[in-house]
Amino acid sequence: MITSDCVAIAFKRPTGSNPVNVIGYQLAEGETLTISQNVGDIDRTQYDVRITETVVGASLCYVFRTLIQD
């Protein structure tokens, strides 16, 4: 589980990595799932991220968060 606490979040499955599933959505190799909010809104969703290990050592999912600077 990853809690967003930001205005936008992106999940990237690198090419050659094991299968990644984010909130029930299966990412293709090299695909990025981006979720963003309206201006001024903060996303407090807890995202369920699951990696199916088919190749040892290739379990990667990059997470990018966009935060508001005070």
- pLDDT band at residue 67 using 50, 70 and 90 as cut-offs: confident
Of 3-12, 13-22, 25-34, the poorest mean pLDDT is in 3-12
Q: What is the pTM of this model?
A: 0.89
Of 70, 69, 68, the closest CA to residue 6 belongs to: 68
- pLDDT band at residue 16 using 50, 70 and 90 as cut-offs: very high
Residue 4's pLDDT is what?
Answer: 86
Q: What is the distance between the terminal CA atoms of the chain, rounded to a whole angstrom?
A: 26
Joined together, the tokens standing for residue 27 give 């990412």
Report the distance separating Cα 39 and Cα 51, nearest Å. 31
Q: What is the mean pLDDT of residues 11-32?
A: 96
In three-state secondary structure terms, 63 is strand
